[in-house]
Structure 1
Amino acid sequence: MLGSPYNRTGNQPLTLGILGGGQLAKMLAQSAYQLGLQVAIIEHGASPAGAMTKLEFPGGWSSETDLDEFIKVSDIITLENEFINPEILERIAERRLCFPTSETIALIQDKLIQKQTFNSAGIPTTEFGAINSVEAAIEFGSVHGFPFVLKTRTLGYDGYGNATIRNANDIHAAWSKFTQTEEPRELMAEKFVNFTKELAVMVARNRRGETAVYPCVETIQENHICRVVIAPAQIDPALQHLAKEIALACVEAINGVGVFGVEMFLTADGKILVNEIAPRPHNSGHYTIEACHTSQYENAVRAVCNLPLGSPDMIAPAAVMVNLLGERSGDGIPDSVVDSLKFPTASLHLYGKSGSRKGRKMGHITALGKTADEALESAIGSARALIW
């Protein structure tokens, strides 16, 4: 049966509960309101998304009272990050529909289990292995070569929880960094990939198994943080198609419901290897707000509500997204907003964060163009006018 954005009793709008209150939750909320839904936000403290609704629970999910009230007012629940304790998700699932499900999140949170799941489904990934000791790390380097990447199996993002091991001498320092702490983490290793491009594909999937696969994009990283996204990726159409097929296979392998960002490497010999998957809207999909018939955020809302999915096709030949990162510590208000808006084909998104710090994601700019170069020039020009 098709879902409806309205309750059957009282003909009232459904309330979409969102675990998390950052920029992804804010853009999810905007799409939910567009579809006529109400929104509830739970986060530890005041948040950009929480400011958009009266149903804000700033005690976070660690507060028994706030979590209980949040569940009570929500009809369907989704999340903006994958780091929430599985026990919390299971508790929510006892009372409300929650997507992605706790079973899906369990396959993703531990990156070793994630890779094993994809391997079992025949999906190409980087070579990997569990690391339970310094000796195991040394053995991995001996078998697969140096450099390789040592990473925490959980809670890693934007380069946090990763260490590049260039030789055996690096292993002891990385081991100490990750394991000799108040909260030691289990580790895994991945063979270093000499890639030519980093790619990403967004996939939406609803409860009926209907899917919408977005164009393959190229992501340009700096210090493990995405700085620029080029849509579509400037690669052979056959490789674009292959990347989309692989991304869809990843989502189906974990029985995903919602929207998912699949990160991949393109190697020099034309292979595409999966790096990891995010069970939520993704930085590489921000461009879809202006560039596609249906944004990743709207399709995320549609998917968890079991509504028909919108078209993921682009409405312009090319689009470029540039992340706006904090350059200093201070308030969250940038200088020169007026100058940034002087680029007519660029769209500015400010996240409304209360404070800035170096490297913090404060907003993004998307520009459309007849070519990727044209869109890049506009997006970069608009971004350079802003000072944080």
Structure 2
Amino acid sequence: MTERILKPGSTLGVLGGGQLGMMFTEAARRMGYGVAVWDPDADAPAHRIATHSFIAPFSDVNVRDRFARIADAVTLEWENVPAELCEWLERGCPMRPSGAVLRVIQDRIEQKQFLSSRHLSVPAFSIVESALQLRSAVDRLGLPAVCKTARSGYDGKGQWVLRDASDVKQVEHILRTANAGRRWILEQFVEYVRELSVLVVRGGNGAQCVYPVVENRHERGILRETLVPASIPLDVAETATEISKQVVTALQGVGVFCVELFQTTNGSLLINEIAPRPHNSGHYTLNVCTVSQFEQQVRATCGLPLGETRLLSPAVMVNLIGEEVQAVTSGEGLYALHATAGAVLHLYGKRIMRPGRKMGHVTFTASQVETATETARQFIARIRRSS
């Protein structure tokens, strides 16, 4: 059956108005669509370019009703919006992805159990519902291990690496003082060669397209840089792509998904996490792909054919974190960046700067990935000296 297509002039709703919501809004407006942004934060950058702006908690029923009357289809920029809100909205219009998909992905325990039940490889894990259970989970999995909150948490927040008994004792204390009903997941620490991710786009008719496999490098739990294409053998890239497609098919997801994987020291691939929306590691698509991840999100939300994912050149994307943004927006740093061949600056327009906050990114393009990598390395060294 042919999916209903939303024509330009329709209004797309997006839950969340941070940088991902902003870049979705930019793509949608360019393609002729209106955008209704709902974000409780009045300073969220997408509000400034939205056709309709809703600044209220996601629990506000009156705003929910007004938002639903305006939106012809709805998507999201963040997986931690209330699943029950998404399920309510999809009674009246397409919700991409669905509330049911969101429920699986929002909870790391549910997500790991879902993947395991489909015979998709994940790190060994154990459910933790109390400080007492943490000790027994450590006994089963051994150390080192990683304890994560089952819900919420991103960019390293809500995660603790346990390497010895003192770490276990410290996290036990955190768990004892947590609110009732909280759950955690303990995962076996994975010795990996590199972290990979794959963007998979799936339409309502089941059609899929996949972007090249990328390599991600983190600092303090926050993505530092993404290299595309990843420096991996063809067979590893093919396996990573196939696993990622299987994940999204199993979810029956519609929209843009990012599947994060570990390439282990023994050569196997393990699924780390899934994001049901455009991803930081996919920002390179804005500059070096024929169709960006954000345009794909518009296409999937509107029932349009998915775009091609052709890579036009190698690239390295570098995040600007906290005060680092000052190194490229004033003085010699501003001049030097714009004098760099192949460098493209993206600023998110966030008015408040704080440690660990993503303020923008720079994509370095070149005919050879080695050239882009070296230029990015020099840039990172420069902003570290300046901040």
TM over 0.5: yes
Checking the alignment, whether the CA contact within 8 Å between 1:178 and 1:184 is kept in structure 2 is no
More helix by share: 2
Tell me the equivalent position of 1:4. 5
Measured after TM superposition, the shift of residue 331 of structure 1 is: 9.3
Cα distance in 2 for partners of 1:30, 1:341 equals 23
Work out which of the residue numbers 161, 166, 172 in structure 2 matches 1:164: 161
Q: Is there any run of 5+ residues in structure 2 with no aligned partner, and where?
A: none
Amino acid at match of 1:69: R
Checking the alignment, whether the CA contact within 8 Å between 1:340 and 1:383 is kept in structure 2 is no
TM-score, length-scaled by structure 2: 0.93
* Pair 1:121-2:118 in alignment: yes
TM-score, length-scaled by structure 1: 0.93
Checking the alignment, whether the CA contact within 8 Å between 2:11 and 2:72 is kept in structure 1 is yes
Q: Is there any run of 5+ residues in structure 1 with no aligned partner, and where?
A: 7-11
Cα distance in 2 for partners of 1:304, 1:282 equals 16
After superposition, the Cα gap between the structure-2 partners of 1:185 and 1:356, relative to the gap in structure 1 and judged at 3 Å, is same
Tell me the equivalent position of 2:300. 303
* Pair 1:340-2:337 in alignment: yes
Work out which of the residue numbers 19, 31, 36 in structure 1 matches 2:32: 36
Tell me the equivalent position of 1:273. 270
Checking the alignment, whether the CA contact within 8 Å between 1:231 and 1:320 is kept in structure 2 is yes
Checking the alignment, whether the CA contact within 8 Å between 2:296 and 2:306 is kept in structure 1 is yes
Measured after TM superposition, the shift of residue 137 of structure 1 is: 2.2
1:21 aligns to what SS in structure 2? coil
Tell me the equivalent position of 2:249. 252
Alignment RMSD (CA, Å): 2.1
Checking the alignment, whether the CA contact within 8 Å between 2:16 and 2:37 is kept in structure 1 is yes
Checking the alignment, whether the CA contact within 8 Å between 2:130 and 2:183 is kept in structure 1 is no
2:311 aligns to what SS in structure 1? coil
Cα distance in 1 for partners of 2:169, 2:82 equals 29
Cα distance in 1 for partners of 2:198, 2:368 equals 20
Cα distance in 1 for partners of 2:328, 2:379 equals 16
After superposition, the Cα gap between the structure-2 partners of 1:183 and 1:285, relative to the gap in structure 1 and judged at 3 Å, is farther
Deviation sequence 1:230-251 (CA, Å, 0-9, x none)? 0011011100110011111111
Amino acid at match of 2:13: G
Cα distance in 1 for partners of 2:68, 2:173 equals 40
After superposition, the Cα gap between the structure-2 partners of 1:179 and 1:14, relative to the gap in structure 1 and judged at 3 Å, is farther
2:172 aligns to what SS in structure 1? helix
Tell me the equivalent position of 2:20. 24
Measured after TM superposition, the shift of residue 184 of structure 1 is: 5.7
Tell me the equivalent position of 1:50. 47
Cα distance in 1 for partners of 2:54, 2:225 equals 33
Cα distance in 2 for partners of 1:333, 1:198 equals 27
Amino acid at match of 1:40: A
Measured after TM superposition, the shift of residue 95 of structure 1 is: 2.3
2:136 aligns to what SS in structure 1? helix
Measured after TM superposition, the shift of residue 117 of structure 1 is: 0.7
* Pair 1:240-2:237 in alignment: yes
Cα distance in 1 for partners of 2:163, 2:195 equals 21
Deviation sequence 1:180-227 (CA, Å, 0-9, x none)? 234762111100000010110011001001101111110000001000
Measured after TM superposition, the shift of residue 286 of structure 1 is: 0.5
Measured after TM superposition, the shift of residue 341 of structure 1 is: 1.4
Checking the alignment, whether the CA contact within 8 Å between 2:58 and 2:82 is kept in structure 1 is no
How many residue pairs match? The answer is 381
1:67 aligns to what SS in structure 2? helix
Residues 40-119 of structure 1 mapped to structure 2, 5 A cutoff: 40-44=36-40, 45-119=42-116
Amino acid at match of 1:191: Q
Measured after TM superposition, the shift of residue 313 of structure 1 is: 2.0
Amino acid at match of 2:5: S
* Pair 1:224-2:221 in alignment: yes
After superposition, the Cα gap between the structure-2 partners of 1:57 and 1:333, relative to the gap in structure 1 and judged at 3 Å, is farther
Cα distance in 2 for partners of 1:23, 1:372 equals 26
Q: Percent identity?
A: 36
Checking the alignment, whether the CA contact within 8 Å between 1:42 and 1:67 is kept in structure 2 is no
Tell me the equivalent position of 2:320. 324
